[in-house]
Structure 1
Amino acid sequence: MKIVPLLALTALLAGCATVAPEGPRFDRSLTAKAQSDRIKYVILHYTVSDLPRSINTLAYGTQVSAHYLLTDTEQPFFYTLVDEPRQSNHAGLSSWKIYNQLNSASIGIEIVNPGFKETAQGRVYAPFSQAQIDQLILLLKDIVKRHNIPMGNILGHNDIAPQRKQDPGPAFPWKQLADAGLIPWPEPSRVAARLPGLQEQLPDVFWFQRKLAEIGYAVPQNGELDQATRNVISVFQTKYRPSLFDGTPDAETAAMMDVLTTPVPLIPAAPASAPQPAADSPPPVPAESD
């Protein structure tokens, strides 16, 4: 008589054992319109070391990393150290326009380059090889296309941290990136047209601070030529006029800032005129009435 309850209990336990816990259920047929790509910036760095030490720091270290490491070998190539959807620790304390802490919104590219050395003649910056720049431009074009990066959002580490960083330095050829259509550049003829007036009357420091902030830099807005303001002006000059980047607010720097922040005026197209008959063409024949 006790066999039946025992069989029932056994069946109940067996049933519980065979029911697997279910995971969350998803319906992926809907996509929200209010969304954007996480990646909005590309930040360029130099490693200030050779390739083995760069790999050791960026791949095996626990403090900093980058999405890509561009080698300085005879035929440069990229190590992919962090997948693009994931955050790498390359920007640190940083700011550009409305964004702070740019690690979460950017791709970091480290370029193997020794940086600079101090000499009796002053600081000397190491050049980047043309092969490196060629590879970099190819990658940047690919990233821009895939993530729809705006033209003004490829930056140097010094752009987003002007008080503490100087990479990729004045030897980095930003003009080549401009020629490749990757960054904006102050058009030389417009700069030349603005120079005479600015040489005659240089704007005050607050004007420079406003222009730098309009471009995207984090800069004081106090009207004083303090060290923090000089540092930001120097970073700007490093990119657009690397022949002289002492942080002095001069007329040429002002002209370049003004051109970068002033859109080119649109010239309205001339109205299309009705075609005129050729001078030697016969007069039109009047139509006969019915």
Structure 2
Amino acid sequence: MLSRLTALICACALTACTTTMIDRGTYLADTQYHAKGADSRVRFLVMHYTEIDEAKSLSVLTGDQVSVHYVVPDAPRIERGEPVVYQLVPEDQRAWHAGLSYWQGATELNASSIGIENVNLGPIDTPSGRGWQPYPRAQIDALIELSRDIVTRYRIPPTRVVGHSDIAPQRKIDPGPLFPWHTLYQAGIGAWPDDATVAAHLAGRAPKAPTDVRALQEKLKRYGYDVATDGVLDEKTRRVFGAFQMHFRPSDYAGDADAESDAIASALIDKYLP
């Protein structure tokens, strides 16, 4: 009986040892021990648009200049009842999608983010003048499924689901004013201010009434933007204000320092950064 028990213990030990070993060709890595002092590379989710069609997007994004983790087609095909998106880079690897960037104290977000490119032409000419290409419902639905999976697996906080224009406002405007930020928020993805809190912070002011530039700069700096806090409404500050407005008030993203923008910023801080 003892010999059989010993043999069983040895067999179990051998199995455990075998299943924790990874053969890397010239050495074996034993993975049975796990350090607690570690976390995920992924801290942010960054949204983009491609400005070109699907075929050109895939050609460019599989070249040697830029890359991204996922591409969501404007008309995703359906297989087995589910939308198909393209994964071009493994999530544990860095993709070249963010460039020079900043958010909440982090720089070079390529190293700490997952990037999603949405096939969308961005600014387009319309019969009534310059406009923006809408995001089709089927694309939004696919994007929601993809994004919700990512933020859930990596526990990405709402304030770290951002657009390229949020993290690089001096040089980027994607994913544009028609991007469905509020729809994503309703699906549990990203941040959005509560209407009642915005109204409380407006405190009877007209939405377009001028507000203190420095105060708005300081609030956006606290929320995550790379912005000066010198009280000067120069072109750089306007671009930051415009990026914030494009995300949270897409009906007007002129970059003005107005009461509604101040109220939205205050409501976001109350909700997510108290």
1:260 counterpart residue number: 268
SS in 2 for 1:169: coil
Residue aligning to 1:40: 43
Structure 2 residue aligned with 1:57: 60
Between the aligned residues of both structures, percent identity stands at: 44
**Aligned partners of 1:28 and 1:53: how far apart in 2?**
42
Q: Distance in 1 between matches of 2:197 and 2:211?
A: 18
Question: What is the Cα-based RMSD across aligned positions, in Å?
Answer: 2.1
User: What stretches of structure 1 of length at least 5 have no aligned partner?
Assistant: 1-21, 267-290
Tell me the TM-score normalised to structure 1 length.
0.78
- 1:64-118 superposed Cα distances (whole Å, 9 cap, x missing partner): 0111111122645311111111111111111101210000101111111111124
Q: What amino acid does structure 1 have at the position aligned with 2:229?
A: Q
Per-residue deviation at 1:121? Answer: 4.6
Matches within 5 A, 1:132-143: 132-143=139-150
Aligned with residue 172 of structure 2, among 137, 147, 165: 165
Deviations 1:9-44 (A, max 9, x none): xxxxxxxxxxxxx94554433322221100111111
TM-score, normalization by structure 2:
0.83
Matches within 5 A, 1:1-290: 23-24=26-27, 26-59=29-62, 61-73=63-75, 75=77, 77-118=84-125, 121-196=128-203, 198-199=205-206, 203-263=211-271
> How many pairs were matched up?
243
Q: Is the 8 A contact 1:198 1:255 kept in 2?
A: no
* Preserved contact between residue 193 and residue 264 of structure 2 (Cα < 8 Å): yes
> Where in structure 2 are there 5+ consecutive unaligned residues?
1-24, 78-82
Question: Which protein has the larger Cα radius of gyration, Structure 1 or Structure 2?
Answer: 1
2:75–2:136: 8 Å Cα contact kept in structure 1?
Answer: no
Counterpart of 1:273?
none
- After TM superposition, give the deviation of residue 249 of structure 1 in Å: 1.0
